[in-house]
Amino acid sequence: MPRHAQRRVRRAPRRSAFAVAVGALGELMLTAGALVLLFVVYMLWGTGLQTAQAQDDLEDELSSRWGQLAPEAPPPDPSELADGDAYGTLRIPRFGDDWEFTVVQGVLDEDLDRGPGHYPDSADPGELGNFAIAAHRSGHLEPFADFPELLVGDVIEIEMADGVYVYELDDAPDGDSDGNRINIDDGWVVNPVPGEPLDTEPTQRRITLTTCWPRFGSSHRMYATGLLVSGPTS
């Protein structure tokens, strides 16, 4: 067979170490990107499904407890609730006419993953002192996603067994994405008298809302606070 007719075997050129490293890095970046995307999907939708189910359970718990009250019977004492129990119903018209969440007693991670949480050591609605609530801004149905949009004069409603308590904000972010930002350890905002020592005797019936800053992080906190303007005991 003539030599020019012989089958020639072509060998692929050898890849340099640099090309191999670049290829491996590219594959790692694609894998990391896919993992990040899956994490985002879980945070936005996966945790939301869990919280939605928890909210249904809390609403049923609240309806059952309040429905068992005899006519003219005194309302149950919220301070006797255990962490994780359904506490009351929170409405913030600034976030939408249909915005409503059942509040849970407690502000540990497992509590806030179920919905807005009442600081157990803070006052109950209508009491002298500071009624304080915390909630997530991202994931878990992101109750406080629009927290920076709160304005002075906005109304906050909390429904309890004995009626609805209405508070009006006198300090809020006022549309500023960095408004009312504080350090993560600034616990003074939930003191009985915000900004004063814990043993200061309160003379007002206040509300304080807290959440994370930035929205997709937790390096700081944001807050809004206001005064009771109406309620069953006001």
C-alpha distances in Å from residue 226, one per residue of 97, 117, 219:
20, 17, 24
Nearest to 129 by CA among 137, 118, 114: 118
Q: Measured in Å, how far apart are the chain's first and last C-alpha atoms?
A: 109
Q: Is 167 a domain residue?
A: yes
Q: Are 136 and 211 in contact (CB under 8 A)?
A: yes
Q: Is residue 24 part of a domain?
A: no
Show which residues are catalytic. 136, 212
Instruction: Tell me the backbone φ, ψ of residue 171, rounded to 5 degrees.
Output: -155, 120
DSSP classification of residue 134 = E
Compute the Cα dihedral for 52, 164, 125, 137 and give only its sign: positive
Task: Please indicate, yes or no, if residue 7 is contained in any of the structural domains.
Answer: no
pLDDT at position 4 = 44
Q: What is the mean pLDDT of residues 218-232?
A: 96
pLDDT tens, position by position, 116-151:
999 999 999 999 999 999 999 999 999 999 999 999
In degrees and rounded to multiples of 5, residue 164 shows phi and psi of -110, 130
> What does the alpha-carbon distance between residue 164 and residue 75 come to, in Å, rounded to a whole number?
13
Residue 4 inside a domain? The answer is no
The whole-angstrom separation of Cα 130 and Cα 128 is 7
**Chain mean pLDDT for the chain:** 87
- Closest by Cα among 31, 228, 18 to 131: 228
Q: What is the CATH number of the domain that holds 111?
A: 2.40.260.10
Query: What is the distance, to the nearest Å, from the Cα of residue 34 to the centroid of all Cα atoms in its chain?
Result: 26
Residue 173 resides in a domain:
yes
Give me the sign of the Cα torsion angle 177, 179, 180, 186.
positive
Residues 152 and 164: their CA atoms lie apart, in Å, by 20
Model confidence over 27-60: pLDDT tens digits? 665 555 544 444 444 455 577 999 999 999 999 9
Output the pTM of the full model: 0.81
In a domain, 9, yes or no: no
Q: What percentage of the chain carries pLDDT values higher than 90?
A: 73
Domain assignment of residue 129, given as a range: 47-70+82-230
* Domain assignment of residue 19, yes or no: no
> Does residue 170 belong to any structural domain of this protein?
yes
Cα–Cα distance measured from residue 173 to residue 110, given in angstroms and rounded to the nearest whole number:
27
**Each residue of 179-215: pLDDT tens digit?**
999 999 999 999 999 999 999 999 999 999 999 999 9
Report the number of distinct structural domains present in the chain.
Answer: 1
Going by pLDDT thresholds of 50, 70 and 90, the confidence category of residue 79 is confident
Across the strands, what pairs with 210?
A: 134, 223
pLDDT for 10 beyond 60: no
